[in-house]
Structure 1
């Protein structure tokens, strides 16, 4: 319904495509802030798999020439990746040619999360009705969790989500990586990040 923000959660990044498709049906133009360690722009090479997790954004942009592209509602110029730290050479070439913006860990270290999110929100909001946020826990460095090693800190993750809430542009959100074997402390932090994005404040 109008005025409500849709939240979708699932075990892997394919849930983001499901959520983005729902947002595309509900609006004529929106952006995407993809907060993740990977770009998910890998060219599809495996036959028989409906949608490889590493190719979710490629499918979203129609780069694989298969059903599931979300243009014109979602344009590459309004997509921004935050926290990128892994990119296969083939994926890096796709990213360079796609007109999708990306802030790597090096950019975050140099600019700070506050400035990165100001830029990301501007990119995702320009000429759109608002934006979707896709978050994967692997982008965040949790103590003792190898999957997030080298990622943004827990505090930086909250800072990113707080910037989303303050912008007033959030239309929908998806969270991936919520599997049955995910450590409870990490799942609890993921819930806290969502609450920050939806406007929870200390005071």
Structure 2
């Protein structure tokens, strides 16, 4: 790791989709012992608590076009971007706990302004490259990567006062197995590097991560990890809102995190979509904490 000073930020956001419970993700992850796990690695941990998320009146649908809860999602992400920006300014590593994946809009808005060529590893069953025009659901948690490359509603694309946040060629998606038609076209058009589950099965996780690390080292000056727990198979991570069978295994995911720790390329990270209401005895939050341990250098021997 480049930095042993870690600032933890919780984002209890569930407005980027329509299944309740993921707003309790940060609490579930803390309950699973994330602070204690990281402190045991001799890291300096500062828990900044949770970003305030304003809830809309459920009797009044606050949608614009095909974008569910647009204003509330944008405001929450603006607050997150400010918090992340302050963390980086004081020289700390931002570790963001979600919350649904729409929070990546704020994470990347606060992070990318500090780097010339930010890279992103998107560890996820989904590509999250939709916009209001292509989304089947209108759920903004399926749009953050698209927003961050400059595609989507101006309110989101220009969040933080600038955009786009990242270049398509600086993205690597790992574990994808549910990609919408509009996203497929965009991936091909923009030349986004994707390791679907087909590639993971065929090449093995060690080769996938080796290629990812080498690819990003050549073209970026820092790398943000955005890990959606639905990237893992539902057998290992049942407490997520949009599970997709046939996913990455618990062991493959630990190997991926261990290789990132050895490569020392990750400068910020977020773990999202933990939904304790749908979970089994906080299993998914515990998996998230274990993966964070591996990312920050935890070893068996």
TM-score by length of 1: 0.89
The answer for unaligned runs of 5 or more in structure 1 is none
Kept in 2: contact 1:137–1:148 (CA 8 A): no
Summarize the Cα distance change of 1:52–1:65 in structure 2 as closer, same or farther, 3 Å threshold: closer
Please give the alpha-carbon distance, in whole angstroms, between the structure 1 residues aligned to 2:134 and 2:179. Answer: 18
Judge which range, 110-119 or 88-97, deviates more: 88-97
Greater RCO between the two (CA within 8 Å, min separation 6)? Answer: 1
The answer for unaligned runs of 5 or more in structure 2 is 1-87
Equivalent in the alignment of 1:129: 221
Does residue 40 in structure 1 map to residue 128 in structure 2? yes
Displacement, 1:45? 2.9
Q: Tell me which structure has the larger Cα radius of gyration.
A: 2
Equivalent in the alignment of 1:158: 254
Kept in 2: contact 1:42–1:54 (CA 8 A): yes
The counterpart of 1:172, out of the listed 242, 258, 268, is 268
Displacement, 1:154? 0.3
Equivalent in the alignment of 2:106: 18
Please give the alpha-carbon distance, in whole angstroms, between the structure 2 residues aligned to 1:143 and 1:74. Answer: 33
Summarize the Cα distance change of 1:58–1:9 in structure 2 as closer, same or farther, 3 Å threshold: same
Judge which range, 100-109 or 179-188, deviates more: 179-188
Displacement, 1:3? 5.3
The counterpart of 1:181, out of the listed 277, 290, 296, is 277
The counterpart of 2:235, out of the listed 143, 153, 176, is 143
> Over residues 16-51 of structure 1, what are the superposed CA-to-partner deviations in whole Å (9 max), with x where a residue is unaligned?
22111121132222100000000001132389x997
Aligned residues: 201
Q: CA RMSD in A?
A: 2.4
TM-score by length of 2: 0.62
Please give the alpha-carbon distance, in whole angstroms, between the structure 2 residues aligned to 1:133 and 1:70. Answer: 19
